């Protein structure tokens, strides 16, 4: 029996329902950032392996850069409560062949890379002054 047309990335994300489309856009931005800034980075548009730890650290830094003390609040609204959620997102995309992984990669590479409360505490404690 012939397989139907391949679903789009957006359709897969919406059908999964755990995280909103905006969270995946943020994930892509973070992956691009770490790909550009890591040794061995290639020309734009070419693939580059990013470890789970590198991904999580880049996403933490990007969240703080974009949202400052509201970083954890934004991520929480997207149902992202820990680094394993980043892994769940990546592995959904891997499962549906929108991303690739190395043979040694695992979802466990994303587990407890850092504690969200601690990682965003500095940003949350920051107060703007006049």
DSSP state of 122: H
Task: Summarize pLDDT for 63-72 with one digit per residue, the tens.
Answer: 999 999 999 9
Task: Summarize pLDDT for 38-88 with one digit per residue, the tens.
Answer: 555 444 445 568 899 999 999 999 999 999 999 999 999 999 999 999 999
Q: Determine the pLDDT at residue 94.
A: 96
Q: What's the pTM?
A: 0.84
Mind giving me the DSSP string for 5-68? PPPPHHHHHHHH-SS-HHHHHHHHHHHHHHHHHSTT--STTS-----HHHHHHHHHHHHHHHHG
Give the integer Cα–Cα distance in Å for 4 and 119.
43
């Amino acid at each position: 029996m012939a397989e139907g047309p391949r679903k789009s990335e957006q359709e897969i994300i919406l059908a999964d329902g755990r995280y909103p489309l905006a969270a995946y856009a943020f994930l892509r931005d973070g992956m691009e950032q770490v790909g550009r800034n890591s040794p061995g980075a290639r020309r734009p548009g070419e693939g580059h392996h990013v470890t789970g730890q590198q991904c999580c650290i880049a996403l933490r830094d990007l969240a703080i850069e974009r949202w400052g003390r509201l970083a954890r609040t934004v991520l929480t609204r997207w149902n992202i409560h820990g680094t394993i959620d980043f892994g769940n997102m990546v592995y959904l995309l891997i499962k549906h062949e929108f991303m690739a992984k190395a043979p040694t990669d695992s979802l466990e590479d994303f587990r407890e890379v850092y504690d969200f409360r601690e990682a965003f505490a500095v940003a949350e404690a920051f107060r703007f002054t006049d």
